[in-house]
Structure 1
């Protein structure tokens, strides 16, 4: 039984994820009024496209961090540009690869720190340099976070620290606030990714 307070947030999350996945992979996406608009699948070149100099992205570890980044997060051949707090100001423009990696890692880790082992860190996350694998990683992250939401009852929504995700305010916030925050992360980064797709097409 889904808690009534969680129902609209879960519906919003599902809508945001479905729209982003459709926007990335095609063959069509809802234009906003129910009319399908044709969308080409994202290519690896577009995935890694840097629209301005000094972008943060996902890079081969052998290439070292990008401008103003101090390390590449994750493990394996690829990593995401990052720097410890305080982050560079003004913030660097980030590629679709960076934004998808950020979303996928956040969803996976928050799910683990809600109803999993409570042990995963950024060092456990594996990035890749291709669009197809990155889209699949986002879908997996969305699925495990959704399942974590289905495992909580209404009382848990008011409890501070249900999620112990170490890269946010989760240990200090009621869980309902964290659910809302995850939704806005998917919504606003999804909109940024959609704009980057538009700019890439019109470049």
Structure 2
């Protein structure tokens, strides 16, 4: 089955954004955007959990409990992601690289499941990693699962309202092509946020040590 014409550019955009983000996190190189390779220092555990301002939301050991203004640690396993029942705090807490990666990877994993999997996974089933390498592996697994869920779709599926039953968004009310666009938007904007935090971390550490 050929890929519907209107899905092709969305798939290409997703692939480029994902590969660029993983390169930005894990190195050894990343595409600068024009095909030039830029050297990348892989993200460390310290950077992954870095809290650049007071009262950040992050991922934490379950035994430590939730962070400031959070009421629970969502997910399964020894680590969870700070959150609070609605209404969420206003203004929203600043979130760490760890929080943003966990959110993005969970979104990809659950949407993949609610598109072409069991359609049963919840946020309580998702396991968040407490280290950088594990988080990058989770991102890769989530992106791979989502990409697989898009393989073999036809125009009828793209136009079907509620084709994805992901329960934490507008998926049950929107045509699936709109959800594919939205997932790309999530990857692009969270990827940009994470890249900026990497730059801030590097700059602050360089200034603190006086290195050139």
Confirm or deny a common fold (TM above 0.5).
yes
Give the distance between the partners of 2:56 and 2:118, measured in 1 at CA: 34
Superimposed CA distance per residue, residues 33-90 of structure 1 (whole angstroms, 9 cap, x where no aligned partner): 2221111000000000001001110000011111111110101100000112222111
Give the secondary structure class of the aligned counterpart of 1:79.
strand
Shift of 1:154: 1.1
The residue aligned with 2:39 is 38
- Aligned positions, number: 203
- Report the counterpart of residue 115 of structure 1 in structure 2: 116
Q: Which moved more, 1:146-155 or 1:105-114?
A: 146-155
Structure 1 segment 42-121 matched on structure 2, within 5 A = 42-121=43-122
For residues 134 and 44 of structure 1, what CA distance do their matches in structure 2 show? 10
Match of 2:157 in 1: 156
Distance, in Å, in 2 between the alignment partners of 1:153 and 1:86 is 38
Indicate the SS of the match to 2:6.
Answer: coil
Shift of 1:151: 3.5
Gaps of at least 5 residues in structure 1 are none
1:9-28, aligned counterparts within 5 Å?
9-28=10-29
Task: Please list, as runs of the form range in 1=range in 2, the aligned pairs for 1:125-144 lying within 5 A after superposition.
Answer: 125-144=126-145
Task: Report the Cα distance in structure 2 between the residues aligned to 1:148 and 1:169, rounded to whole angstroms.
Answer: 18
| Runs (5+) with no aligned partner, structure 2 | 205-212
- Aligned to 2:5, what secondary structure does the other structure show? coil
**Equivalent position of 1:201 in the other structure:** 202
Q: For 2:80 and 2:109, how far apart are their aligned partners in 1?
A: 16
1:172 equivalent in alignment to 2:173: yes
Give the whole-Å Cα distance in 1 for the aligned partners of 2:91 and 2:195: 22
With structure 1 as the length reference, what TM-score do the two structures score? 0.98
Question: Could you report, residue by residue, the CA deviation over 1:73-110 in whole angstroms, capped at 9, with x for unpaired residues?
Answer: 10110000011222211111111110110011100100
Give me the CA root mean square deviation.
0.8
TM-superposed CA distance for 1:2, in Å, is 1.0
Deviation of 1:153 (Å): 1.1
